[in-house]
Amino acid sequence: MNWIADLGAKTLQYVAGLGRAGRFFAALTGACLIALSRFSLVVKQLYSVGVLTLLIILVSGLFVGMVLGLQGYYTLVSFGAESSLGLVVALSLTRELGPVLSALLFAGRAGSALTAEIGLMKATQQLDAMEMMATDPLPIVIAPRFLAGFIALPLLTAIFTSIGVIGGYLIGVQQLGLDSGVYWAAMQEGVDFYDDIINGVIKSLVFGLVVTFIAVYQGYFATPTSEGVSRATTRTVVNASLSVLGLDYVLTALMFGEI
């Protein structure tokens, strides 16, 4: 009989967690409005969340684009369709790989750092100290980080996609000898600005929201011990990655499903 009680306890815990997350999100949205009026705090977080993630985004984007160019070329050339290489590289990057891989890298690089930072602030009672001084930590500590992640990920995604397209160009055109005009023309022929690029940006906006929210939530509600912080960090990366992959399917079905 014990395991039935355990099941009930787990369910209650889970539902309570969802409710806590919902209330936290509502409070955070309000705090974001206050944080917007102190934009220098957001800029400071944009540096640590966005600029410091730039290098890993640039390097992985370049290599993903190069691999796409290589794999795409060898597959397409067996159908005599290597002229579509530009289209293959650009569509895969704008629709899927750009938003998803950027979000996964972002969760690993910036999300974990956010959780660890906020969790440690909590463990060392800095957040409690702020509350003691009648200062709400949400608009000062949490909201700027949340906003910064929300702003940074779409920009990082655009950079990732662009550098990937250039990586495909380097391999397809410079190394494998495809004509440069053919590469760009096939791309411009098939990639639609609204259907493909804007939908990719919408995806990255959603991913930015979800990944950053999970990161600050896990940090804010971490058990204030060193073990608790380390667990929260792991949970951020795992939950954020799974949410990104699951949401990606849903968004793709909504965006490209009816055609």
Partner 1 sequence: MQQKRGIDLIVGLFVLGGIAALVFLALRVGNLSTASVDNAYRLYAEFDNIGGLKLKAPVTLAGVNIGRVTDVKIEKAFYTAVVEMSIDSKYDNLPEDTSAAILTAGLLGSQYVGLEPGAEESYLADGDKIEITQSSLVLENLISTFITSGAGQGAAAQSGSESSGDDF
Residue 197 touching partner 1 (CB under 8 A): yes
Q: Which is nearer to partner 1, 163 or 251 (CB)?
A: 163
**Given candidates 100, 105, 127, 165, which one binds partner 1 under the rule CB under 8 A?**
165
Q: How many CA atoms lie within 13 A of 90 on its CB side?
A: 21
Residue 158 touching partner 1 (CB under 8 A): yes
Task: Answer whether 240's CB lies under 8 Å from 107's CB.
Answer: yes
Residue 155 touching partner 1 (CB under 8 A): yes
Contacts with partner 1 in 75-134 (CB under 8 A)?
A: 90, 94
Q: Which is nearer to partner 1, 173 or 229 (CB)?
A: 173
Task: Answer whether 72's CB lies under 8 Å from 88's CB.
Answer: yes
Contacts with partner 1 in 24-43 (CB under 8 A)?
A: 40, 43
Q: Per the structure block, which two tokens stand in for 234?
A: 């792991």
**Given candidates 84, 92, 115, 161, which one binds partner 1 under the rule CB under 8 A?**
161
**Given candidates 85, 187, 240, 244, which one binds partner 1 under the rule CB under 8 A?**
187
Question: Rounded to an integer, what distance in angstroms lies between the CA atom of residue 1 and that of residue 257?
Answer: 46
Question: Phi/psi of residue 136, each to 5°?
Answer: -75, 120
Closest approach of partner 1 to the CB of residue 197, in Å? 5
Burial group, residue 200, by CB count within 10 angstroms (0-12, 13-18, 19+): buried
Question: Rounded to an integer, what distance in angstroms lies between the CA atom of residue 185 and that of residue 87?
Answer: 9
Q: Which is nearer to partner 1, 131 or 192 (CB)?
A: 192
Q: What are the distances in angstroms from CA 3 to CA 8, 12, 184? A: 9, 14, 61
Interacting residue ranges for partner 1, rule: CB under 8 A? 40, 43-44, 46-47, 50-51, 54, 90, 94, 151-152, 154-156, 158-159, 161-163, 165, 184, 187-189, 191-193, 196-197, 201
